[in-house]
Structures are given as structure tokens and as C-alpha cells.
Chain A
Amino acid sequence: MPLSQRNLALLLIAPGLALVAALFLYPLSFSLVSAFTGPDGGFSLGSFRKAWELYSGDVVFTVVIVLSSCLLTGLMAVVIAGTLTLGENRYIVGTLKALYRWPLFIPFIVAAQCMRTFLAKNGLMNNTFVSLGLMEPLQAVSFLDWRGIIATFVWKQTPFVALLLAGALASLDRATLEAGRNLGASRLRVLVELALPQVMPQLLVALVLSFVTMLSVLSVPMMVSGSQPTMLTVDMAFRINAYGDYSTANALGVITYLLSAGAAIIYLKRGMSQESTR
């Protein structure tokens, strides 16, 4: 019996759908159920109460860390992508082009290990400053806390955002930008007032993706900073390893879902309002 067009289409998407169902939907609903299940097997908000009682500070800490990392990543990416598109010194542009993608190929755990020795009080960075005479040894401070986490995240995510942004900027109509330059606008003004508004959606997509990625990283907070306060991923791992307590860990997971869902909603809303104004 020959397959109809419709059946063929269904057959083609079946493997992908099965994969999503088995590897995402099933574990998702499993962890949702576990988060809302009490020790006696019935429905309970106990895990959430416990999660909030023990980790409310860490929830706030996680949000602050991830948001400020996103903000800094966005800024850095705009500077890099702007220089690549509008830069006039070809040596600077060439060097930057060759260098900026490197962190993309370095895993989070390796970046964290490097930062551990780089940012320490008597680490590579401070020692370099001291030996250059820029700083007294006594002024050295350790960055192995929230600042270290942000530095690692920004270093790791900037190239990703810059890559998407530079691509979007390159596909803009050069004529508008050059018109701006001809009328006497500085390059900074062309970037901020002409180029960036046109690539805002792409920048936002890149930042939302970075937000979700950073929310899920375990190695960086674990290796770079001490554990008080720390990010939710570390708390989840600790809940399971120290107490075998999956339901509170899952409650923390649900809180993380909600945070990333928040980012997705902001993005979708913005996308829709743009659609409607068009």
C-alpha cells in the first residue's frame, strides 16, 4: 500500500518526536510529579517550602548572577560585533576576528579551572599586575566569589552572542549606515542609533539562549566560588548527593524551569508585539 503524503510526513517526524518525548517530556513530567509529591506519596508543597526555607538566598543569587552576566555579555558582544562591522583599522578588526571566537571551543569546566588560578588572590592576574608595578601585593583581592562566576560566564558566552550579532550586523543594508556616516554621525552613534535597533531581535535571542545556558551550568559555581551563597545547580547536586533527597532537588529544578520560562516569555512577547506593529 503506497503511503499517503500525510502518513509519510508523520513517519518522518516520528523519530524526532519519540526522542523529544523520551529524553525531554518524560523526565520533565517525572521531575514535576516528584517535586509535588510528599513523603507519604500524596500531593504536597513540602518540597517547595523546604527549598524556599533553605535556598531562598541562592535563588536570588542565581537570578542576580545570570542577569548581570547577560547584561555584561550583551555589552561586550555589542562592542566586539560593532568593531567588526564598523571598525576602520583593518589590523584591529583582523586581530579581533581571529581571536574573539576562541572561548567558544573551550568547555565550561576547563574555563572554570583556568579562572580558579587566574583570578585567585595570589593568582596569575594579580601577580602580573604586581610584577608590572601596577599594584601593591597587599592590595590584591581574590575574585573567586560571585565576581569570578560572572567573569567566567561573560568570557565564555560573549563570543557566542557576538557571533550571532556580527552575522546580523553584516547582513544589514550598508547604505543606511553609510548614509548616517555621510551626514556626519560618529561611528558610535551609527552603531547605537542605526545598526543596533535593526538587530535587536537577534541580540535578544542570543541573550535568552545564554541566560538558559548559564542557568544550567554546575561546574563554574562549584569550582570558581565557595558555596555560600551559591547557584541552584550546586544546591540540587548537594541535595541528591548528601541526602538522596530527589523531591527537594526537583522542586529547585521546577524553580529553575520557571526562571527560564520567564526569559522565554519576555522574548515571545517582544516578538509578538513586533509582529503586530508591522
Chain B
Amino acid sequence: MRILTLACSLAALMAASPLSAQTLNVASAGDQNMVDYVKDYLGPMFEKAHPGVKVVSVGTGPGDSGSQKILEKLDAQKGSATTDFDVVVIHQKAAGQMVKDGLLAKYTDKIDTAKLVSSEAAKNSLGADVSGYVMPMFQSQTALAYNADMLKTPPNSFAELKDWAKKNPKQFGYNGIKGGMSGVAFVAGWVYAFGGDANKLVQGPYDAAEKAKWDTAFAELKEFNKNAVITPGNAGTLDMLNRGEIAMGPVWVDMFYSWQADGKLPPNMKLKLAAPGMPGQPMYYAVPEKSAQRKLAEEFIALATSPQVQADGIVKKFNWYPGIDAKNLEGKLDKAAWDKLFTDITPTDLSKNAKPFPIAPYFNDILEGYEKKVAN
């Protein structure tokens, strides 16, 4: 299917090139909604402002594996004069690797909107220095979703959650680590809470001996899992919440709001970001070093990170948190849309409990530790 998509895009590209002077190829890792965002929203807007330019949007698949495909493609084309992609939308894990391998261009000093970003995520990607190479497209966050009719006071911390799950067996559900990132985020949050120093995992430097400290945390998680339901995937957790089969579970905030807006989740569902916090991650806009349309690519990203587009597209349409600093969106967004994003999780909660994922080597250690000590 993916090959078919790529082939179709390629065919469209070839058909389109004689008609228009320039083509801007945008490759997005991530779910279909990210591809649609460029194809249906951002692309047409950019084409309108730049007559004669055609924006082609290609998806490379969800999750880190989608970014991995972009990395492999750029790496394979290292020797050629130009790459097929002009703008890439990538995850954190791959961004660090691409900067290290010299596959990306340093461009943020050439666009004005770079001044609107002050977040740590724009400089540091899971321990790798990426400042100058990336602009955050949006910030996404995981949190615990719960059914407010079934429990009035949600747990404030992971320790409270542990007790709550013991008293209410089979009411908490998450998707393990093989069924999507919301489960991975929950496990990372668990290690932050019970595995020692969370800051060290987020900031580094990497110390291979650190993982020995997580043994008790994993043993407790194995015990916790006996009272938990393992759901089939990110959507599986939301499905079970919707059918009232579980009362609480970790979800992506944007998916949660989108499902609620579509009527696939009842309005009595709420979100909670329990202490010490759960991870979130940005998606990055980057320009490949060998892009044939460097100038256009920069203009495209400047448009995508402008306050108006961030307000209308990112926040209002897709329920993501803005990639640029939130204060720049004031006045661009009606109050209802703004409030909706921060109803359950306030900006204070976010600044206190929204954590990045651990740096890449710790991240892999956590996943493998889970496989070894919890799942098998």
C-alpha cells in the first residue's frame, strides 16, 4: 500500500512537473492526519501565496519507523546532487541521527518565526543538539484519560495510581509497549516515577549502569499489570474507555480531543497529567541538506510556523499544542478554542508535568528492560 502511495505520488509528481515551474515535496512521518494536514490545509495555502508552485505531500508511515524511512532515503541519496524531499516532518529519535549524519541543513536563522520558539525541544532532541536544524511543528502530549462518572477524584501521582489500580482491578488499561506510543509513554512515566532520577534520563549523559536501578520499578510494574488490562493499541485504549470497559488509561491528548469532537468518546471523559509527569514529543520541520528548493522550503516552514497557521491549523483543527511559544498565539484564537485545549490540563500542569521522552540510549534500555523483566 505504501509503495502504491509512493508510486502514485511519484506519478503525480511527474505529471505535474511540466505544468508548474516548481514542485515542493513534503514528506511526513506520522499518521494519516499529518499527511492530510499538509495536503488539504497547508499545501493549498502555500500554493495560493506562491503561484506556479505545486506542493506534493507524501506519508512514510506512523511512528518512529516512518522517520526511519525518511532517514534511509536521505542517506541513500547522499551521493546524488539533490534529494527527492524538500521538507521533511520527522520524530525526535530520527532528527538527532540525521543531524549527526549531516543529512539536514541549518536553516532556522533564515526564517523570522524561529524567534517565536523558546522551548527546549527546539534545541535538544532526546539528548542530541539540533538547534538551528529544526522547527517544532507542534507539541504533542500524553496524559491519563478517565471516566469522570466512574471516578470523581483521579489520582494525582503515579504512586496514587498504583494504589487505585490495586483497589479497582481491571479498571486501568494501557497498550503495553508494542501497540503504540501512548503505552510507551506510560512506561516511561512509570520509570520517571519509581526508577530514580527522571532528570538524568531526560538530560543525560548516558550511563549504562543506570538501568540497574530500575529493577524494583519493573517488578512493581509487573505486579501492577496483573490488575491492568493490556489493550490492543492507542485506539484500543480509547475504544475501551468509550465502551466503559476501563475507567482510566493513557492516551495522546490530540487523539483524545479529536475523538471526543467526532463523538467517538462520551463528554464525561476527562484528562489528568499525574505527577511526576508523562512524556510528550514534538514533530519537527526540517530541510534536507541536498534539497533542490531550499528557498521555497524555508518559506514553507515559515508559513507553517506563523502564529496564524499555528492557531488555526495546529490548535483549532487538529488539537495539538502549538510548536511555537503559546503566548504568540494570543489574539489569533477565539477563547473557546483556547480554553478547550487547556480545560483539563492547565498551562501550569503542562509546565510542571509535561516531560520529554528519555534520551535515546535510556529510551532503548527502558523498552528492552520492560520486555525482559515485565513482559516475558
Task: Give, as a whole number of angstroms, the nearest-CB distance from A265 to chain B.
Answer: 28
- Complex-state Cα separation, A234 to B232, whole angstroms: 12
Across the interface, which residues of B come within 8 angstroms of A234, CB to CB?
A: 178
Report the stretch among A28-36, A52-60, A178-186 that lies at the interface: A52-60
- CB nearest neighbor in B for A241: B65
Which A87-146 residues have C-beta < 8 A from chain B?
116-117, 120-123, 142, 144
Task: Give, as a whole number of angstroms, the nearest-CB distance from A238 to chain B.
Answer: 5
Across the interface, which residues of A come within 8 angstroms of B179, CB to CB?
A: 222, 226-227
Instruction: Using A142-B245, A224-B232, A226-B229 as known contacts, say yes or no to A58 and B240 having CB atoms under 8 A apart.
Output: no
CB-based contact A230/B368 at 8 Å: no
Task: Give, as a whole number of angstroms, the nearest-CB distance from A133 to chain B.
Answer: 20
CB-based contact A242/B367 at 8 Å: yes
Task: Give, as a whole number of angstroms, the nearest-CB distance from B189 to chain A.
Answer: 17
- Complex-state Cα separation, A228 to B240, whole angstroms: 17
> Does B176 have its Cβ within 8 Å of any Cβ on chain A?
yes
Across the interface, which residues of B come within 8 angstroms of A53, CB to CB?
A: 372, 376
> Does B299 have its Cβ within 8 Å of any Cβ on chain A?
no
Task: Give, as a whole number of angstroms, the nearest-CB distance from B301 to chain A.
Answer: 27
Which B344-376 residues have C-beta < 8 A from chain A?
364, 367-368, 371-372, 374-376
> Does A244 have its Cβ within 8 Å of any Cβ on chain B?
yes
CB-based contact B68/A227 at 8 Å: no
Instruction: Using A53-B372, A55-B376 as known contacts, say yes or no to A226 and B175 having CB atoms under 8 A apart.
Output: yes
- Chain B's interface size range is 20 to 34
> Does A46 have its Cβ within 8 Å of any Cβ on chain B?
no
Which A227-265 residues have C-beta < 8 A from chain B?
227-230, 234-235, 237-238, 240-244
- Complex-state Cα separation, A223 to B229, whole angstroms: 15
Q: How many A-B residue pairs have CB under 8 A?
A: 84
Residue in A144, A222, A224, A240 whose CB lies within 8 Å of B65: A240
> Does A225 have its Cβ within 8 Å of any Cβ on chain B?
yes
Which B44-65 residues have C-beta < 8 A from chain A?
63-65
CB-based contact B244/A243 at 8 Å: no
Across the interface, which residues of B come within 8 angstroms of A223, CB to CB?
A: 232-233
> Does B92 have its Cβ within 8 Å of any Cβ on chain A?
no
Across the interface, which residues of A come within 8 angstroms of B244, CB to CB?
A: 122
Across the interface, which residues of A come within 8 angstroms of B178, CB to CB?
A: 227, 230, 234-235, 237-238
Residue in B177, B231, B367, B375 whose CB lies within 8 Å of A229: B375
CB-based contact B367/A228 at 8 Å: no
Instruction: Using A230-B178, A243-B367 as known contacts, say yes or no to A123 and B243 having CB atoms under 8 A apart.
Output: yes
Across the interface, which residues of B come within 8 angstroms of A122, CB to CB?
A: 243-245
Residue in A117, A142, A241 whose CB lies within 8 Å of B63: A241
Residue in A56, A121, A224, A237 whose CB lies within 8 Å of B376: A56
> Does B341 have its Cβ within 8 Å of any Cβ on chain A?
no
> Does B239 have its Cβ within 8 Å of any Cβ on chain A?
yes
Instruction: Using A123-B243, A228-B375, A230-B178 as known contacts, say yes or no to A244 and B230 having CB atoms under 8 A apart.
Output: no
Across the interface, which residues of B come within 8 angstroms of A238, CB to CB?
A: 177-178
Chain A: interface residue total (CB-CB under 8 A)? 32
CB-based contact A228/B176 at 8 Å: yes
CB-based contact A226/B367 at 8 Å: no
Across the interface, which residues of B come within 8 angstroms of A226, CB to CB?
A: 175-176, 179, 229-232, 236
- CB nearest neighbor in B for A55: B376
CB-based contact A243/B245 at 8 Å: no
> Does B182 have its Cβ within 8 Å of any Cβ on chain A?
no
Across the interface, which residues of B come within 8 angstroms of A54, CB to CB?
A: 368, 371-372, 375-376
CB-based contact A227/B64 at 8 Å: no
Across the interface, which residues of A come within 8 angstroms of B372, CB to CB?
A: 53-54
Residue in A57, A120, A241, A243 whose CB lies within 8 Å of B240: A120
CB-based contact A116/B239 at 8 Å: yes
CB-based contact B230/A227 at 8 Å: yes
- CB nearest neighbor in B for A142: B245
Across the interface, which residues of B come within 8 angstroms of A222, CB to CB?
A: 179, 232-233
CB-based contact B232/A121 at 8 Å: no
Across the interface, which residues of A come within 8 angstroms of B230, CB to CB?
A: 225-228
- CB nearest neighbor in A for B63: A241
CB-based contact A58/B175 at 8 Å: no
19 chain-A/chain-B pairs, Cβ below 8 angstroms: A53-B372, A53-B376, A55-B376, A58-B376, A116-B232, A117-B239, A120-B239, A121-B240, A122-B244, A122-B245, A144-B231, A144-B236, A226-B230, A228-B374, A235-B178, A241-B65, A242-B177, A242-B364, A244-B68
Q: A144-B231, A227-B232 provided; 16 other pairs, C-beta below 8 A?
A: A54-B376, A120-B239, A120-B240, A122-B243, A144-B232, A222-B179, A222-B232, A223-B233, A224-B232, A226-B229, A226-B236, A228-B375, A229-B376, A234-B178, A242-B177, A243-B368
Interface residues of B (CB under 8 A from A): 63-65, 68, 175-179, 183, 225, 229-233, 236, 239-240, 243-245, 364, 367-368, 371-372, 374-376
